Structures are given as structure tokens and as C-alpha cells.
């Protein structure tokens, strides 16, 4: 068995669909063991790593309310999707005791951190490519996400 992104995606999908908390795959020279704790902010055996100090601090939030006449939220044709670029665990903030980077109805700027996806013990910041407003958060905190899974639905500013 070759270890590649498709294999990891398949294992993550199996764990998610079957609501497993651990999975062990042993094929001679290749052994994969994946564990997670349900309801926990941080999966078992995983620690936050700081690639740089600023990466772990939330960026200032834009908390101005969205004007009702500025965006017609019933017109979903203008909504865009922000999808996961990888398989991993979705986190809304940098630490369990920190506020979420973004929430429904909140505006954000290009380059703002929207969430973190943990993959292979590395914390990967997902940043906004354009300014916009969060219309829907599609993933629960601590949930395993797949490549291409919708994380947010937004309206671009």
C-alpha cells in the first residue's frame, strides 16, 4: 500500500462516516494509527506547533454588523464557497480558550485568517483571498474535513 493523499483522504472519510475515534492500519512495513477524541478541541496526541508567533494570535475581527440592504442573504446565487485545501481537523480559533477567527455575519479582509486546519501535526492557517462577509459556517469546530469540503459560504465585498 502506498501512502498518498488519496489514502489519507479515504482513511479520514472512513473515520468520519463511521464516527470512529481511532483507526489502525498495519500492512507490514507501513503502520498508520489515527486517534481523535470526540468533543475535544484538540485530538489525542496532537499538540499545537507555532510556526511563527503571530500565527497563533487571532487577527483583529471586523465586528461591524452587516447592513440588511447591503446584502440580500436570500439570494444565494451570489454566495461563494471557501473549500478546504487539505484533509485535516478544522479549528475556528488558535487555542481552545480563544474566540473564533470569524463568525456568521462577520466581515473580513483579504489576508485575514479564517480558520486553522491541522494536518499531520501541523497547523495550517486558511486565509481569505478576497474581502467578504461570512454567510454560513459549514463545519463544526474539531471536525475532520476532507479536501474540497465546503468550510464557509461567503459574499465577496
- Cα-flanking dihedrals φ and ψ of residue 61, to 5°? -90, 145
> 99 in a domain, yes or no?
yes
In this prediction, residue 111 has a pLDDT band, given cuts at 50, 70 and 90, of very high
Phi-psi region of 54 (alpha: psi -120 to 50; beta: other; left: phi over 0): alpha
User: How many domains is the chain partitioned into structurally?
Assistant: 1
Residue 29 CA, distance from chain mean position = 32
> 38 in a domain, yes or no?
no
Question: How high is the pLDDT of residue 56?
Answer: 41
- Segment 22-65, tens digit of pLDDT: 777 776 666 777 776 554 444 444 444 433 433 444 444 444 44
- Segment 8-23, tens digit of pLDDT: 777 777 777 777 777 7
Q: Residue 122: give its domain's CATH number.
A: 2.40.50.100
Over residues 123-129, mean pLDDT? 94
| Whole-angstrom distance, CA of residue 122 vs CA of residue 49 | 7
Over residues 83-110, mean pLDDT? 94
> 35 in a domain, yes or no?
no
Domain housing 58? 47-156
| Largest Cα span, the chain | 62
Per DSSP, which regions of 2-156 are E strands? Answer: 22-27, 30-35, 80-83, 88-91, 107-108, 113-119, 122-127, 132-137, 144-145, 150-156
Whether 109 shows a pLDDT value over 90: the answer reads yes
Amino acid at each position: 500500500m502506498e501512502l498518498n493523499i488519496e489514502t489519507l483522504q479515504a482513511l479520514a472519510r472512513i473515520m468520519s462516516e463511521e464516527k470512529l475515534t481511532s483507526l489502525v492500519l498495519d500492512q507490514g512495513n507501513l503502520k498508520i494509527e489515527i486517534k481523535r477524541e470526540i468533543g475535544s478541541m484538540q485530538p489525542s496526541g496532537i499538540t499545537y506547533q507555532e510556526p511563527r508567533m503571530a500565527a497563533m494570535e487571532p487577527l483583529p475581527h471586523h465586528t461591524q454588523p452587516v447592513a440588511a440592504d447591503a446584502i440580500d442573504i436570500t439570494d444565494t446565487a451570489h454566495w461563494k464557497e471557501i473549500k478546504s485545501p487539505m484533509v485535516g481537523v478544522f479549528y475556528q480559533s488558535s487555542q481552545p480558550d480563544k474566540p473564533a477567527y470569524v463568525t456568521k455575519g462577520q466581515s473580513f479582509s483579504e489576508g485575514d485568517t479564517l480558520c486553522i486546519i491541522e494536518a499531520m501535526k501541523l497547523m495550517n492557517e486558511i486565509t481569505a483571498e478576497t474581502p467578504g462577509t461570512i454567510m454560513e459556517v459549514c463545519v463544526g469546530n474539531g471536525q475532520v474535513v476532507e479536501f474540497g469540503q465546503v468550510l464557509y459560504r461567503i459574499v465577496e465585498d
